[in-house]
Amino acid sequence: MVVIKYLVLFIQKYWRPLTIIFFIAILALSLWPLEHFPAVPGGDKLHHCIAYAALVFPVALRKPQHWLLLVLFFIACSGGIELVQPLVNRYGEWLDMAANTAGVGGGILVAQIVRQWLREEPGKI
């Protein structure tokens, strides 16, 4: 439990660089031209969900001022990526944006659960 608490504190402290790293990774993976998609376990939509949950989790855990604007920015960028993908030999698909938005919601939910869990833990750090 102590390791998880320190991990949460690390994420809260370094939420900005973590978010920037995740955002750049999502942009690169979404816009890199591919001849064919690599075979990876799980479905495409699940990967979208996980990526955007990871993107929003540090922001939702820290909840900086105007954090909801960042969340809306992530969703808007998701739509922008889907519009640009056909220009870089990728497929733009609106269901991907729906999966991204679901991931954002899931990331916020998990962050809220973690925040609540930390408040209820006796002897929290």
**pLDDT reading at 122 higher than 80:** no
Q: Are 104 and 71 contacting, i.e. CB atoms less than 8 angstroms apart?
A: yes
pLDDT on residue 118: 86
Q: Does residue 39 sit within a domain?
A: no
Q: Does residue 18 sit within a domain?
A: yes
Number of domains in the chain: 1
CA distance 91 to 75: 18
Q: Does residue 76 sit within a domain?
A: yes
Q: Does residue 108 sit within a domain?
A: yes
CA distance 27 to 114: 27
Q: What is the pLDDT of residues 53-66, one digit of tens each?
A: 999 999 999 999 99
- Indicate the pTM of the whole model: 0.89
Task: Supply the range of the domain harboring residue 112.
Answer: 2-34+44-120
pLDDT on residue 125: 47
pLDDT on residue 121: 66
- Confidence label for 35 from pLDDT (cuts 50, 70 and 90): confident
Q: Does residue 110 sit within a domain?
A: yes
Q: What is the pLDDT of residues 44-97, one digit of tens each?
A: 899 999 999 999 999 999 999 999 999 999 999 999 999 999 999 888 899 999
Task: Quote the percentage of the chain above a pLDDT of 70.
Answer: 94
Q: Does residue 125 sit within a domain?
A: no
Q: Does residue 113 sit within a domain?
A: yes
pLDDT on residue 123: 53
